Amino acid sequence: MATVEAPRGAELLKQLGKAGDGKPPLGCMQCGMCAASCPLGHAMEFPPRKLILQAASGHLDKVLTSPSLWMCVACYLCSKRCPRGIELTDGVWPALRDAAMQQGFQPPAELQETFQNVFKYGNILGRSPRQRMDWAKDLDVRVLDLSKERRPVDVLWLVGCYPSYYPRNQLVARAFARLLTQLGVTWGVLGVQERAIGECDRMFGEEGLFETLVEANRKVLDKQDFRKLVVLDPHAFHALKKYYPRFGAWYAVQHYTTFLADRLEQLKPLIAKPVEAVVTYHDNCCLGRRSGCYDPPRSLLELVPGVKLVEMSRTRDNALCCGGGGGGMWLDAHIVAQGGQRLSDRRVAQAAETGADILAVSCPYELARFEDAAKVAGLEGRLKVRDIIEILAECMDLGERTTL
Amino acid sequence: MNIAVVVRQVPDLIEPLEIDSSGATLDLSSASFIVNESDDHALEQAILVKEAGGATVSVVALDFGDVDNTLYTAAAKGADRIIKLSLDGEPPSPRAAAALYAAALKPLNPDLVLVGVQAHDELDGGLSPFLAAALGLPYVGVICGVRRGAEPGTVTVCKEFPGAVMAQLNVKLPVVLGIVGAEQPPRYVPVAKIRAAMKSAQFEEQVAVAPGATPPLSICRLEPPASGSHAEMLSGSEDEVAARIAEILAQKGLRK
């Protein structure tokens, strides 16, 4: 296979230190906090500590060809706990994956397909860009499609790939459209012009694809007149907040949980009925550990009369990941083949231990991951998985079918 | 070794195909295009032969659909020459296309011509044997592996036969090979390399011309496939469809 010149291990890590992602990785003191914290570290040939050690000591190729390079699911536990403040998740892993691909080493086949889908169709599911608005078909509220009718709006809602295309998530998108309308804000969507934001592509190490998406999204967004972007996907929130500005693309962006939590007083009068349920909330990694947003989602759940909020054994900055970030959504088979476990299976067991009726989530990946895991664990019917939007829509009588 | 690869654009089936108002052709204005899968394998096989011991890989394509992206990707994978043939009008049928490709390939004087053994828009037969005939070269089809032969001027190829029988053949060059699959899946090239190719790769642009006219294909009517009497089309709500599937599986003894 053809290879190109790429920086060697220590040099690569040195360059990373200058890129502004936390402290320089060469400052690693090999304490092993990262490897011990990593929920998949036991199954990795090179957990983060060894990854740095091998790369820095001249064995970059060993790292780049190891299946463990494709096992990080971007839970940020290692980054959060590193006593030296090294940005492992956002910095070291993507850089090494990028180096591997630049040298011609192939990522797992499932990832190749996902990359190609995003490059060709602008969405991770490989669906036609023309079907972007299918989620809004026959919806009983008006959806302003800014690709057809350009008008100033308060909120430009980036619907996201899963809520646009995936039937289970489309229910959440439809509920959010009703909720936005009830709140009386002016809002619109990009319709067929919407593309993936590209966070997971960047985390996979596909920096070139990420740049392509930033350029394309910027071209579309800069033509619109809006006060803020609102996203359902915490990964998109993270990328828009942290990585788009590096390309000069600055946008005011909010994840829907903070957007709604800022409007608790406006939400209160909309409540029509209680939802009698014990609910536990899963802190997704991008919103929680990465962005420190723990209270807004809980404040929304506490708003719902009848909801009794209970916490899992691992919660807030210690929460266990669903296993879907950083490309993990497509790598379950790869991770299991390496001796790892689907983290969503472990997480639903923790949710069930609380005695909750509902596992509440705020990330589009998690509905599919946890609903599957609940089936595998025999919890179907006992533990329901619901987006916070669905719970709000239920208590506001905005649901098109009784979901609770 | 001088290798030429033909890569074609075919309608992407993620979009529903529509028949135009004449009833005899597809409405390609609403179609999107992708590289033909077995041509992608042909390119991969050519790059593998190149990497195994030096060769020049020339890629030839007709200019329609999303051909530029396909060609930049080919350059990023390691193709040395890219020849783009501009086209007047609609994409031609395989027989007519064979004459156009042959006219462009002859001056290259290739030792080995690799082309996908099939494409889903081949209305009047496969391109690969027509191409061999137009070039006046021997043809071997349904190939799933090509290596440099032990004798100079030969290649050793792996050919698939029905019943999962594989044969290894020593083939004298020059030859046209119809590729069904490369020895490994087409490689992934990072987008950064494709972007670099967009800046640096040079296309040799030519007008597609063929000596003598190929009699045009006359299509009377196109119709979407009708549901056959032996298929049960399931309809209704998700729950009804799921219940019916469960019932069928139970009837077949696959589920209790």
Q: Do A211 and B192 touch (CB under 8 A)?
A: yes
pLDDT at A358 over 90: yes
**A12: closest CA of chain B, how far (Å):** 17
Phi and psi at A8, nearest 5°, equal -75, 170
Interface probe with A: pick from B191, B193, B198, most Cβ of A within 10 Å: B191
Q: How far apart are CA A5 and CA A330, in angstroms?
A: 29
For residues A156-183, average pLDDT: 97
Tokens of B181: 């699959």
| Least CB–CB distance from B14: residue in A112, A126, A209 | A126
Closest Cβ opposite residue B187 in set A106, A128, A209: A106
Q: Are the beta carbons of B188 and A120 separated by less than 8 Å? A: no
Q: Average pLDDT in the A184-202 region?
A: 96
Query: B2-207 in CATH: which number?
Result: 3.40.50.620
Query: Is residue B255 over pLDDT 60?
Result: yes
Cβ contacts (< 8 Å) between B187 and chain A: which residues? Answer: 1, 104, 106
> For residue B111, which of B253, B1, B203, B214 has the smallest C-alpha distance?
B1
**Residue B178 in this model has a pLDDT that exceeds 80:** yes
Question: Which of A2, A120, A208 minimises the CB distance to B78?
Answer: A2
Convert the pLDDT of each residue in B72-131 to its tens digit.
999 999 999 999 999 987 788 899 999 999 999 999 999 999 999 999 988 888 999 999
Where exactly are the structural domains of chain B? 2-207
Using an 8 Å CB-CB cutoff, list chain A residues near B194: 208
Query: How far is B83 from B4, CA to CA, in rounded Å?
Result: 10
Residue A21 is given by DSSP the state S
From the list A386, A284, A289, the residue with the least C-alpha distance to A325 is A284
Residues of A in contact with B78 (CB under 8 A): 2
**Which residues in chain B have Cβ-Cβ distances shorter than 8 Å to A209?**
190-191
Can you give the pLDDT at residue A18?
Answer: 65
Size of interface A-B (CB pairs under 8 A): 47
Mean pLDDT, chain B, rounded, equals 93
Tens digit of each residue's pLDDT (9 = 90 or more) over A253-268: 999 999 999 999 999 9
pLDDT more than 90, % of chain B: 76
A126: left (phi over 0), alpha (psi -120 to 50) or beta: left
pLDDT at A245 > cutoff 60:
yes
Percentage of chain A lying above the pLDDT 90 cut: 89
Determine, for residues A106 and B188 on separate chains, whether the beta-carbon distance falls below 8 Å: yes
Average pLDDT over residues B50-64: 95
d(CA A345, CA B53) in angstroms, rounded, equals 48
- Going from the C-alpha of A400 to that of each of A139, B13, B190, the distances in angstroms are 9, 32, 43
- Residues A335-356, mean pLDDT to the nearest whole number: 96
- The encoded tokens of residue A305 equal 């009369």
For every residue of chain B, which 3-state class applies, written as one string?
CEEEEECCEEECCCCCCCECCCCCCECHHHCCEEECHHHHHHHHHHHHHHHCCCCEEEEEEECCCCHHHHHHHHHHHCCCEEEEEECCCCCCCHHHHHHHHHHHHHHHCCCEEEEECCCCCCCCCCHHHHHHHHHCCCEEEEEEEEEECCCCCEEEEEEEEHHHEEEEEEEECCEEEEECCCCCCCCCCCHHHHHHHHHHCCEEEEECCCCCCCCCCCCCCCCCCCCCCCCCCCCCCHHHHHHHHHHHHHHCCCCC
Do the chains contact at B187 and A109, CB–CB below 8 Å?
no
A188 phi, psi to nearest 5 deg: -150, 170
pLDDT over 70 percentage in chain A: 96
**Residue A4's pLDDT band (boundaries 50, 70, 90)?**
very low
Tokens found for residue A343: 């983290």
What does the mean pLDDT of chain A come to?
93
Q: Which residue of A has its CA nearest to B238?
A: A167
- pLDDT, residue A402, reads 43
Which of A325-329, B73-77, B128-132, B167-171 comes out lowest in average pLDDT?
A: A325-329
Q: What is the nearest CA distance from A105 to chain B, expressed in angstroms?
A: 9
Q: How far is A112 from chain B (nearest CA, A)?
A: 6
Please name which of A90, A24, A77 lies closest in space to residue A326, comparing C-alpha atoms: A90
Subunit contact A116:B191, Cβ cutoff 8 A: no
For residue B61, pLDDT over 70 is answered with: yes
CB contact under 8 A, B191 and A112: no
* Overall residue count recorded for chain A in this entry: 404
Task: Name A184's Cβ contacts closer than 8 Å, sequence gap at least 6.
Answer: A266
The answer to whether the CB of A177 falls within 8 A of the CB of A139 is: yes
Nearest CA in chain B to A102: B190
Q: How far apart are CA A171 and CA A401, in angstroms?
A: 9
Task: State the first-to-last Cα distance of chain B, in angstroms, to the nearest integer.
Answer: 60
CA dist B53 and B132 (Å) reads: 25
How far, in Å, CA of B147 to CA of B6, rounded? 19
For residue A319, the model assigns a pLDDT of 97
Residues of B in contact with A112 (CB under 8 A): 188
> Does the pLDDT value for residue B215 go beyond 90?
no
Q: Please answer yes or no on whether A115 and B34 come within 8 Å at the CB atom.
A: no
What is the band of B201 on the pLDDT scale with cuts at 50, 70, 90? very high
Helix intervals (H) in A204-324: 207-221, 234-238, 256-261, 264-267, 295-303
Q: How confident is the model at residue B233 (pLDDT cuts 50, 70, 90)?
A: confident
Burial A37-59 (b: 16+ CB within 10 A, else e): bbbbbebbbbbbbbbbebbbeee
* Cβ separation B190–A121 shorter than 8 A: no
Distances in Å between the alpha carbon of A165 and those of A32, A129, A188, B89? 41, 10, 18, 35
Chain A residues inside the 8 Å CB shell of B57: none
CB atoms B51 and A130 under 8 Å: no
Q: Residue B175 and residue B3: Cα distance in Å, rounded?
A: 10
Residues of B in contact with A116 (CB under 8 A): 188
**Residues, chain B, total?**
256
Residues of B in contact with A104 (CB under 8 A): 187
- The position carrying tokens 């090999």 is A30
Residue in chain A nearest B30 by alpha carbon: A130
Which positions ≥6 away from A280 have C-beta within 8 Å?
A309, A310, A311, A312, A351, A354, A356, A358, A359, A360
Instruction: Tell me the C-alpha to C-alpha distance, in Å, between residue B152 and each of A55, B143, B145.
Output: 43, 20, 18
Better pLDDT: A42 or B16:
A42
Tell me the CA distances in angstroms from A23 to A26, A85, A91, B168, one per residue in order: 9, 6, 10, 57
Kindly report the nearest CA distance between residue B253 and chain A, in angstroms. Answer: 24
